[in-house]
Amino acid sequence: MTRDQFINKRRPDWRRFELLLAEAEGSRTTKLTGEQIGELSALYRALCFDLSLIQSRDWGTSMSRYLNSLVSRGHNCLYRSQPGSFRAVFDFIVAEFPRLLRANAAYFWLALALFVIPGAVSGTVVALDPSQVGRIMPGQYQAQFENMYSKSIGENSSGSDEGRAAMAGFYVHNNVGIAFKCFALGSFAGIGTMIVLVYNSIFLGTITGFLVGRGHSHNFFEFVVGHGSFELTAIVISGAAGLVLGHAMVHPGKQTRRDALRERGLVSVKLALGAGVMLGLAAIIEAFWSPSGASFSVKMVVGAALWIIVVLYLSLAGRVRTSDAQADPARAVA
């Protein structure tokens, strides 16, 4: 069969598919009849075969582009989730987000190194010699943190539910601000993200070293151990999102920079959204559990359990069983 014969034979189905697709896009597929949806689905599968045939035989770029556009629109129409769907949100949190993070693990490990190593160095130096804290943290901050953690948790906590809710709101605002900077400054070739990660690492490390050196480690770790797993991991993930964005700008590969930013930018946004959910959980824990009167040992156990949950969630959530992957290879993910 020649190219012209193939096109003349298949053109009526393409036009029929385009008409059904236009109607479906304008009304959402739920307003099409069952017969129409079935016809649209059958035409879509045939269209995918036509596209692969034309591409394999090199029958023209314009024809390939036209069919590829129809296939893309058809896929979005048939497989998109309903807006605001609770199921879509649930699937994103329990499966898509951790899978996406594992698929971009290199960015996560780089962000983790930038966030951990400078803080570990500064914290160790300040813990061994608290006089060095003045090189990084102003005196008013030193007095503020020492006053806060020189008292027991019970003395610093807000007993009312309204007070704790206000604390949760403050923590969300503060922590999301740091995470947003990590993500958004990735648009500066990733350099802004690296600076924010290193700066906050050094600052948090200095605070930790200062409080340890001043003998307030008990109160400090009793307060932060509960929410630290979600909060610190989310900041690192936000950093990874910024690095994904920055890498797309610096090294788009075989794509145009615009296409790379469109594709990798979506990945970056999804990682940032997942980190935002984790920061919300961290704020709730920080406001209602961290300042509670539970004993130090209980908080340590709960804190360790939360770290294990975070690690297992990011490592295992969204994986499919071997039998499922063999039945449907498209579901085999990292």
Residue 252's pLDDT band, with cuts at 50, 70 and 90, is confident
Comparing 6-15, 224-233, 256-265, the range with the smallest average pLDDT is 256-265
Residue 182's pLDDT band, with cuts at 50, 70 and 90, is confident
Q: What are the C-alpha distances in Å from 132 to residues 116, 129, 137, 142, 149?
A: 19, 6, 9, 12, 19
Average pLDDT score over the chain: 81
212 contact partners, CB below 8 Å, separation of at least 6: 123, 127, 220
Residue 321: predicted pLDDT: 52
Q: How is residue 177 written in tokens?
A: 């601000």
User: Across residues 27-31, what is the average pLDDT?
Assistant: 52
Kindly report each contact of residues 54-63 with a partner whose C-beta sits within 8 Å and lies 24 or more positions away, as own/partner.
54/6, 57/3, 59/3, 59/6, 60/3, 63/7
Residue 194: predicted pLDDT: 92
Residue 85: predicted pLDDT: 62
Residue 84: predicted pLDDT: 52
Residue 108: predicted pLDDT: 95
Eight-state DSSP code of residue 55:
H
Residue 109: predicted pLDDT: 96
- Is a pLDDT exceeding 70 seen at residue 27? no
Residue 320: predicted pLDDT: 62
222 contact partners, CB below 8 Å, separation of at least 6: 153, 296, 299, 300
- Is a pLDDT exceeding 70 seen at residue 325? no
Of 258, 132, 245, the closest CA to residue 181 belongs to 245
User: Across residues 17-43, what is the average pLDDT?
Assistant: 75
User: Across residues 230-248, what is the average pLDDT?
Assistant: 91
Residue 168's pLDDT band, with cuts at 50, 70 and 90, is low
Residue 157's pLDDT band, with cuts at 50, 70 and 90, is low
Q: What are the C-alpha distances in Å from 153 to residues 169, 220, 222, 292?
A: 19, 9, 8, 7
Q: pLDDT per residue over 262-297, tens digit each?
A: 788 888 889 998 998 998 898 888 888 888 888 889
- Higher-pLDDT residue of 159 and 10 is 10
Structural domain spans, the chain: 3-80, 87-316
Residue 238's pLDDT band, with cuts at 50, 70 and 90, is very high
Q: What are the C-alpha distances in Å from 142 to residues 131, 145, 286?
A: 11, 5, 21
Q: pLDDT per residue over 53-99, tens digit each?
A: 888 888 777 888 888 888 888 887 776 655 556 778 888 899 999 99
Residue 154's pLDDT band, with cuts at 50, 70 and 90, is low
Residue 329's pLDDT band, with cuts at 50, 70 and 90, is very low
- Which amino acid makes up residue 105? A
